[in-house]
Amino acid sequence: MLPVQTDILVIGAGPTGLALATALQRNGVDHVLVDALDGAQNTSRAAVVHAHTLEMLDTIGVVGSLEARGIALPDFAVRDRDQVLLTVSFHRLPAAFQHLLMVPQSTTEAVLQARLNELGGAVHRGVAALAAVTDAGGAAVTVKTATGEQVIHARYVVGADGMHSIVRDAAGIPFHGEAYGESFVLADVTMDWPLNDEVSLFFSPAGLVVVAPLPDGSYRIVATLDDAPEKPEIADIQKLLDARGPTRTARVTGIGWASRFRVHHRLADTYRSGPFLLMGDAAHVHSPAGGQGMNTGLVDAIVLADALTRVVRDHLPDTALDDYARTRRPAAQEVLALAGRLTKIATLRSASARRLRNLLLRVLDRLPAIKRRLALGLSGLARRRFATLPPSGVLARHIAQ
Ligand SMILES: Cc1cc2nc3c(=O)[nH]c(=O)nc-3n(C[C@H](O)[C@H](O)[C@H](O)COP(=O)(O)OP(=O)(O)OC[C@H]3O[C@@H](n4cnc5c(N)ncnc54)[C@H](O)[C@@H]3O)c2cc1C
């Protein structure tokens, strides 16, 4: 039975909505989580969970299950065909998790949903939000279900509803940015591949290609490609690897999930407007270079759960929600800049610029301090400062004044 009143209505049960609902459930905070789809999505999509995300997800008790289903990789290597230009190692990170975890997004979502259910929470599926307006108690959201339309009243409404967020539109929050020129090809393939202990990023004038092992023995391929085919086939991926990967590349033998998508580079002007809050792709989207998209959204979810718990359960002033917005938006700004830089460097076309880039990367590869900075940036640990709200004491002083 779908409630008609709640403290927090979370719209969207992708990875970020599921993580937020799990954290709220664990903290004993009243909420309702809805998703327009009748069932969970079963496509691979984001396949990397970074060290910083793992430490944040550890607070909701899902990391053991994720690690049991994923592959822990210690290294990220940048290559130009057969040459290694730079290796970034995660095994000396100042963190509880000293690796990145390869795990398909569908598995991450299934693990989060299982944990939510274990804690007594649920997803209301087949419930599409159509419109939202502010009212005296917060907001009123009209939803469409199998049995018709109804209104849910909530103090706060969280837009975890992806790039085309209706919550963002209802709140009138601009989403500035643009679409990248290139399309991206994504495919999970079977093949013989020698580099099983790392995520490999190949730079090439024709565009970048990333190859990473997945837990079922297949490999995730991500590549920029002008005029990418709508449904990439084995021959398309083979051609990509022949042109951009190592010269003695393996033969691609099978293809599972494959897709083409165009990437946008956009950031919401604010993450909060009155009762409306944004997180995940509803708040920020960018190139998949560096595998940061879902990771940034998952950290948003854990920080927002903290802010909402302070306000709804602990009755602190709702300026904690402004703190969430102020704390997390700069993280996305940094991630957008990182993904943009990586894409630009990876796809240099002029031969002289590529030679200079490769030389520079080989020099950087000999500088431990730089390599450590890169590891901190990629793992998300460099953005830890954007993952903690100001202490409640600061807010408590506001109340007293
Ligand atoms: C083809 C593809 C490949 C990708 N590859 C990568 C990758 O390699 N690396 C990476 O980091 N990221 C990748 N991404 C991005 C990554 O999947 C997203 O960053 C991540 O899913 C964001 O999670 P989210 O919870 O914010 O939103 P989403 O996963 O988009 O979830 C939004 C949810 O909201 C629901 N919803 C939407 N509108 C409504 C509504 N009106 N009412 C109710 N429910 C609604 C949707 O059904 C959906 O379940 C990829 C995305 C795609 C599409």
How confident is the model over 59-83, as pLDDT tens digits?
999 999 999 999 999 999 999 888 8
- The residue nearest atom 4 of ligand 1, judged by CA position, is 45
What 3-state class would DSSP assign to 266?
A: strand
Give the model confidence (pLDDT) of 313-327 as tens digits. 999 999 999 999 999
Instruction: List residues near ligand 1 (CB under 6 A).
Output: 11-17, 34-37, 45-47, 105, 128-129, 160-162, 166, 186, 222, 259, 261, 280-281, 288, 291-294, 297
Distance CA 174, CA 169 (A): 8
Per-residue confidence (pLDDT) for residue 399, from 0 to 100: 37
Q: Which of 105, 145, 276, 287 to mutate to test the pocket of ligand 1 (most atoms within 8 A of CB)?
A: 105
Residue 397 is predicted with a pLDDT of 42
Contact predicate 161/15, CB 8 Å: no
189 sits in the region (left: phi over 0; alpha: psi -120 to 50; else beta) called beta
Segment among 278-287, 290-299, 350-359, 375-384 with least mean pLDDT: 350-359
Between the CA of 11 and the centroid of ligand 1 the distance, in Å, is 12
Which CATH fold topology does 5-73+98-177+265-351 show? Answer: FAD/NAD(P)-binding domain (3.50.50)
Substitution candidate for ligand 1 out of 45, 100, 166 with most atoms within 8 A of CB: 45
pTM of this structure: 0.94
Find the angle CA(183)-CA(236)-CA(79) to the nearest 5 degrees: 75
Distances in whole angstroms, Cα of residue 13 to Cα of each of 110, 150, 166, 336: 11, 19, 14, 24
Which of 112, 151, 161 best tests ligand 1's pocket when mutated (most atoms within 8 Å of CB)? 161
For residue 343 the two structure tokens come to 């894409």
Residue identifier of the C-alpha nearest atom 12 of ligand 1: 46
How many A from CA of 389 to the centre of ligand 1? 25
- Order the strands of the 75-80 sheet from edge to edge: 83-89, 75-80, 198-202, 209-213, 219-225, 175-191, 252-268, 284-285
Residue located nearest, by CA, to atom 14 of ligand 1: 46
**Cβ pair 49, 325 in contact under 8 A:** no
- Residue 259 identity: S
Q: Rounded to an integer, what distance in angstroms lies between the CA atom of residue 273 and that of residue 173?
A: 8
Section 3-16 average pLDDT: 98
Q: How confident is the model at residue 192 (pLDDT cuts 50, 70, 90)?
A: very high
Distance CA 331, CA 311 (A): 23
Contact criterion met (CB below 8 Å) for 88 and 378: yes
Domain boundaries, the chain: 5-73+98-177+265-351
Q: What local confidence, expressed as pLDDT, does residue 396 receive?
A: 40
- Average pLDDT of every residue of the chain: 92
Ligand 1 atom nearest to 163, measured from its CA: 30
